[in-house]
Structure 1
Amino acid sequence: MRNEAGSSTKSIRLAEVLDDETSAYAISAQACFEKFHGAANRLAGLLVLLAIAKSRLVLDVEIQAAAADLIKAGNDEFRALRSTPRSQHFHRHLANAGNLLRVAIEHIERTLAGSASARDPLVPLQAAWSELKDASRCLPGFEVVDFRHSCCALHKTVIS
């Protein structure tokens, strides 16, 4: 597809994504995104361990502390980011992910403390993961691996 100037629309879209300001933003946002991604993975692992063991006593406090540190550091880095017009959609998803991860870790801490105000931490964690996936589709260089269909790799291919 060509525009009026004779160049392809696809190359114009690519240039819009990779303008200098947006590229600088993406480079700066990478560390924040990775911290949120790492925290989400750690929290998911904690919840799996909690579900399997059915006891708060088996949880790895170091993993919980590492997740909390990643969330705090990621939110601190996020506050330093200045989005560009092109990165605003990504920026909103990243902000939502950081807030939801903070809520998830608070719910986990309340659950472990046996607080009556504890809520299910899986709900904000799943929402945070969804925000990270949505953010990953807004700018290049931010990938989230989806393992929902990974078991299929272990199945033998049937040839008819």
Structure 2
Amino acid sequence: MTLVSSARVARSSAPRSARRRFVKPLLGLTVFAALFVVLAWRLDRPSVAAGPLDAAAGNPLGQLSRDAADRAPIAGLVEERLPAGSYTYVAVRTGESLTWAVTVGDAPPPGTPVQVRSMGRKANFHSRRLARTFPDLVFGIVSRAD
């Protein structure tokens, strides 16, 4: 009796495995082709919801202005530091002037000499998290000046 049941299992599994070897790649190819068609159709269609102007309006970095003066690093002492979530606003004293800069992550504590590498600036920037408007805010990388 054991021989009969093992023979049935051997006979029935042969056509099944041949079918699986054919169906699995065919199914994978079909899914890949469907995804390709959908993506090609989405990329070919012009988007009504988000145009280039809408993308810049939602991104504060898309609205930055950068001139020749922004290419030179700003060096000074941290006078004030305001953490705001994943950003930190820093007041940097350079001689008689005070420059506000914002950077991603943490910034050195007050009294630390720093250098700010500007990526651009924005006039009248309002921080909702701090409920404060900065007349001129530099977006950049703040690092210790050792």
| Higher Cα Rg, which structure | 2
Structure showing the higher helix proportion among its residues: 1
Q: Higher relative CO (CA 8 A, sep ≥ 6), structure 1 or 2?
A: 1
